[in-house]
Structure 1
Amino acid sequence: MTLELRGITKRFGSFTANDRISIEVRPGEIHALLGENGAGKSTLMNVLYGLYQPDEGEIVVDGEVQRFKGPGDAMAAGIGMVHQHFMLVPVFTVAENVMLGHESTKFAGALDLASARAHVREVADRFGFEVDPDAVVEDLPVGVQQRVEIIKALSRDAKVLVFDEPTAVLTPQETDELMQIMRQLRDEGTAIVFITHKLREVREVADRITVIRLGKVVAEASPESSTNELASLMVGRAVELTVQKEAPNLGDGGLKLTDVTIADSSGHIVVDRVNLEVRPGEILAIAGVQGNGQTELTESLVGLQQLTSGDITLNGKSLVGKPVKQIIDEGVGFVPEDRIEDGLVGTFSVAENLMLNRTSDPEFVRAGTVRRGALNDFAEAKIAEYDIRTQGPNAHAGSLSGGNQQKVVIARELSRDLNLLVASQPTRGVDVGSIEFIHTRIVEARDTGVPVVLVSTELDEVSALADRIAVMYKGAIIGIVPGNASRETLGLMMAGETPEGVAA
């Protein structure tokens, strides 16, 4: 099936998100749509999927103009979408999620779950997915949940499959598996639209590349193009892909973890006797496959996780047992791994999100009343300083693109005097221009004498920023290596090898 978007324009008030965009997607190819966060990629795909109606232009499938009034029309025309934030019901099983909206019944109107289970197994076997039809979705790892999304689309006979930032929440291993799935789908004749901002992935898997900037198509590029060429096309300027930093200038004190142990609600040990020190003026990166205790460890640093045993001190003062607000007031900045759930209040304005950790600050609040003028002045300054693409300080944070939401979080956390910065997945789902900016800000914090704990599943990010790297495996620190350790060494440690074993 051939898909064409002809002159698609979509406006939101005075803002033009898509400006006369034309793209053709052919059967049996992976067509990458490359652009910064806020460039208009997801808006364009929401138009294609019937979630938005175009103000101008038309959608053409196999030569026939289509009018999609909703996702049901798009699915009926053979278009499926795998969303960045999964459209799954967590408490339903895999089979129940796959049949949702397309329920088949048997006698007396009862759901035919046996048929749904069989269909899930058929699609899973065809693509080598290991998915249990009876598994509850909320119990599945993120990578498996994404496979459920793919099975949902394929079960409705999708001939065009749209992947919207599909690797934003995946580990490197899961990303490699997804790339292979995409190739297999392409080889079977499926047309794939791959929306992303990750240059390594585009060059690895795309057959053709369309670059969008500020709502317009600015180039058609080849997968053979260099990462610097693609980055320049995306951002509209030369981008420095290498982090510039001097050797660390270490101070005294900082963060110290002593035999930190954390158990989950069932009593299972998820963080196992972790001992770490992070000196002022250095970046310690914690690497590892997601799910090895990094989340619980970082949340314990700000009081979101209670310790089973052990101690955490900052400049000699214990943080254990203190409420979150008191820890924040001690000068701890926290960039959570999930900005939607833990970093922002989507229905609050950009300005209000920028002061979430300053509700007691007399600069912004007096006698229980927010000083709107001072807050808006502060927000305007941070919007300009951090290049937050928004219609203004009063725009809802939930209306921003993922990368600009992350900039709001970064701006808020780095706009205070800090004694510690904890940054978990700080550039997840963020484009190359924003990555350059965020990395620069993290290094600047380190150079002012702030100890930085960086948690990332992106090995390129870990290698670029870290002065030292601690690798977590099954809740324990399996070893600490210099920041210039090779990807091969880190990969083996992430799989459970000790540094000594790697060397041997």
Structure 2
Amino acid sequence: MDYVIEMNNIRKEFPGIVANDNITLQVKQGEIHALLGENGAGKSTLMNVLFGLYQPERGEIKVRGEKVDITDPNKANDLGIGMVHQHFMLVQNFSVTENIILGSEPTTRGRIDLGKAEKHVQEISDRYGLKVDPKAKIEDISVGMQQRAEILKTLYRGAEILIFDEPTASLTPQEIKELIQIMNNLIDEGKSIILITHKLKEIMQVCDRCTVIRRGVGVGTVDVEGATEDSLAEMMVGREVSFKVDKKPAQPGETVLSIKDLTVEDIRKVDVVNKLSLDVRAGEIMGVAGVDGNGQTELVEALTGLRHSKSGSVFVGGKDISHYKPRKVTETGIGHIPQDRHKHGLVLDFTIGENLLLQTYYQKPFTKTGILNYNLMYEKAEELIKEYDVRTPSSKTMARSLSGGNQQKAIIAREIDRSPELLLAAQPTRGLDVGAIEFIHSKLIEERDKGRGILLVSLELEEVLNVSDRIAVIYEGEIVEIVDADKTNEQELGLLMAGGKKEEGEPTS
């Protein structure tokens, strides 16, 4: 059998941890090969070895049958290997083309020829159906378009083998659909793709074969055609996983969050939340469903003090918190799982232990007379790491070096552990594997059953339907309808999310 990539018995160690323990990965020419595993299983590490960012302690790599030594990413590029990273490597105030040519700029008579580069970028974009404007500034384009710029960067450098690291983690459902089409276009042109993911639905849709890693060890490789979501999930976590959320009916109490005629502007001074009113009761999960960009982000930022509202009011437990700063919002009894974990969830250059205590480090027992008790802080952090299965070499490891999914678990541990009266959960399971999603959903239900109010904002319709008791549909910054989760379905929600109307008397299930 001829393989375009062979990684045989790769071992990669970090202080205190074996990230890859004798893993073998073999990729055929012209296939989309999934690399599946839990958060922190060692998927990205293995691909960073292939891309030359890490050097393995043991094992060999062959590209098109030839044994190679990939000492750095430039060597990987020379061998036709390109990597689209989960967190994009782009300069925000450069144009798409300037980012793409960075490090390999075409010159004419000693000067950078931007016009020539833009023409070449446009040709590649057209050829693979990427639809990217070569002159657009990175800071002005959507996350999905930024990702396409990353794909273009690899193709511009002649990549024949593309590694996609969790490519759909930050994309809307529509962008995911378009990305799948782009991947199929790349395969039609003779490329080969390795897809790092833990989204089983996408593997079933687009992949030919799947290699599963569990806690740094290779579990096996299977043909996707003969597999099911259930069988892949079991291979990944080592036990059966339930995709259905087990919960009894809610027992809602008094209103904990009352939003009245809230209007919020975006950075362009455009009203993106428009006279929105919504109540969340104690002991219920209120889901917010909507297509990305309909005001969800600005709504949550206004509720948590990260953005000023233009008008309207927000009451929590009868207190008007409309103009509170973030810390005061937290002290009022509000927890916040932010949509952007790097921007608003973590201090990446603090240890994971310090991050787990960000909301409480200045309170007793962690602080006395202004002096931090680090022993107590790290003791508490170790408890949370264990309870929430945050995979980290130690509580003193820098947050930056954890996988995205484990960073997310740390944020969730910090916010849920305080058991706030009101929890604002924005994309809480983004980047998590099925086992972790199952655990987080059960924690949200547990909080609900303790009489806490939860506002769940998610782009995953399945999640909103499964976890919520009631669902508020947001469209162009307004709540267009509130429906009971057990009396609706994806079709009806999809219609409402697109600005359609619910048919009176129409069956909803």
TM-score by length of 2: 0.96
Deviation at 1:461, TM superposition (A): 0.8
Residue 313 of structure 1: aligned partner: 315
Deviation at 1:216, TM superposition (A): 1.2
Residue 448 of structure 1: aligned partner: 450
| More displaced 10-residue stretch of structure 1: 116-125 or 28-37 | 116-125
Residue 502 of structure 2: aligned partner: 499
SS at match of 2:210: strand
Give the Cα separation in 2 of the matches to 1:488 and 1:126. Answer: 34
Give the Cα separation in 2 of the matches to 1:301 and 1:344. Answer: 19
Residue 120 of structure 2: aligned partner: 119
Give the Cα separation in 2 of the matches to 1:428 and 1:308. Answer: 29
Deviation at 1:495, TM superposition (A): 2.0
Alignment match of 2:50 (pick from 38, 48, 51): 48
Q: After superposition, what is the alpha-carbon deviation per residue over 1:306-363, rounded to whole angstroms, capped at 9, x for unaligned? A: 1101000012111111121111001100000111121111121122111101133111
Q: After superposition, what is the alpha-carbon deviation per residue over 1:196-227, rounded to whole angstroms, capped at 9, x for unaligned? A: 00111111111001101111110222323221
Give the Cα separation in 2 of the matches to 1:266 and 1:17. Answer: 44
> Which blocks of at least 5 consecutive residues in structure 2 are unaligned?
none
Contact 1:18 1:215 in 2 (8 A): yes
Give the Cα separation in 2 of the matches to 1:242 and 1:32. Answer: 24
Deviation at 1:253, TM superposition (A): 2.5
Give the Cα separation in 2 of the matches to 1:474 and 1:111. Answer: 43
Q: 1:57–1:93: structure 2 CA closer, same or farther, 3 Å change rule?
A: same
Residue 190 of structure 2: aligned partner: 189
Give the Cα separation in 2 of the matches to 1:310 and 1:502. Answer: 34
Q: 1:502–1:164: structure 2 CA closer, same or farther, 3 Å change rule?
A: farther
Residue 386 of structure 1: aligned partner: 388
Q: After superposition, what is the alpha-carbon deviation per residue over 1:78-110, rounded to whole angstroms, capped at 9, x for unaligned? A: 001111111111111111111111100113x22
**1:361-376 map, 5 Å:** 361-376=363-378
Residue 482 of structure 2: aligned partner: 480
Residue 396 of structure 1: aligned partner: 398
> Which blocks of at least 5 consecutive residues in structure 1 are unaligned?
none
Q: After superposition, what is the alpha-carbon deviation per residue over 1:246-272, rounded to whole angstroms, capped at 9, x for unaligned? A: 111010121011010011233211111
Give the Cα separation in 1 of the matches to 2:368 and 2:501. Answer: 54
Alignment match of 2:276 (pick from 274, 277, 282): 274
Q: 1:502–1:118: structure 2 CA closer, same or farther, 3 Å change rule?
A: farther
SS at match of 1:39: coil
TM-score by length of 1: 0.97
**1:341-356 map, 5 Å:** 341-356=343-358
Give the Cα separation in 1 of the matches to 2:503 and 2:249. Answer: 25
Residue 134 of structure 1: aligned partner: 135
Give the Cα separation in 2 of the matches to 1:482 and 1:222. Answer: 40
Task: For 1:44, give the aligned amino acid.
Answer: L
Contact 1:493 1:502 in 2 (8 A): no
SS at match of 1:18: strand
Residue 253 of structure 1: aligned partner: 255
Identity %: 50
Deviation at 1:141, TM superposition (A): 0.7
Deviation at 1:228, TM superposition (A): 1.5
Deviation at 1:502, TM superposition (A): 11
Task: For 1:477, give the aligned amino acid.
Answer: I
Give the Cα separation in 2 of the matches to 1:204 and 1:88. Answer: 29
Give the Cα separation in 2 of the matches to 1:124 and 1:334. Answer: 39
Contact 2:70 2:76 in 1 (8 A): yes
Give the Cα separation in 2 of the matches to 1:417 and 1:445. Answer: 7
Give the Cα separation in 2 of the matches to 1:474 and 1:79. Answer: 42
SS at match of 1:130: coil
Q: 1:147–1:274: structure 2 CA closer, same or farther, 3 Å change rule?
A: same
Alignment match of 1:68 (pick from 58, 67, 70): 70
SS at match of 1:176: helix
Task: For 2:325, give the aligned amino acid.
Answer: P
Contact 2:255 2:279 in 1 (8 A): no
Residue 207 of structure 2: aligned partner: 206
1:174 to 2:175 alignment: yes
Task: For 2:152, give the aligned amino acid.
Answer: I
Task: For 2:101, give the aligned amino acid.
Answer: M
Give the Cα separation in 2 of the matches to 1:125 and 1:390. Answer: 43
Contact 2:419 2:447 in 1 (8 A): no
1:298 to 2:291 alignment: no
Deviation at 1:500, TM superposition (A): 4.0
Contact 2:6 2:24 in 1 (8 A): yes
Alignment match of 1:240 (pick from 242, 246, 251): 242
Number of residues of Structure 1 aligned to a counterpart in Structure 2: 503
Give the Cα separation in 2 of the matches to 1:188 and 1:448. Answer: 55
Give the Cα separation in 2 of the matches to 1:31 and 1:119. Answer: 29
SS at match of 2:255: coil
SS at match of 2:315: strand
Once superposed, what is the RMSD of the aligned Cα atoms? 1.5
| More displaced 10-residue stretch of structure 1: 41-50 or 15-24 | 15-24
Contact 2:16 2:393 in 1 (8 A): no
Give the Cα separation in 2 of the matches to 1:428 and 1:243. Answer: 17
**1:73-152 map, 5 Å:** 73-107=75-109, 109-152=110-153
Alignment match of 1:421 (pick from 414, 420, 423): 423
Give the Cα separation in 2 of the matches to 1:214 and 1:200. Answer: 22
Give the Cα separation in 1 of the matches to 2:405 and 2:213. Answer: 15
Q: After superposition, what is the alpha-carbon deviation per residue over 1:282-302, rounded to whole angstroms, capped at 9, x for unaligned? A: 111111122211011011111
SS at match of 1:183: helix
Deviation at 1:393, TM superposition (A): 1.6
Q: After superposition, what is the alpha-carbon deviation per residue over 1:86-137, rounded to whole angstroms, capped at 9, x for unaligned? A: 1111111111111111100113x22111111111211111122221111101
Task: For 1:491, give the aligned amino acid.
Answer: G
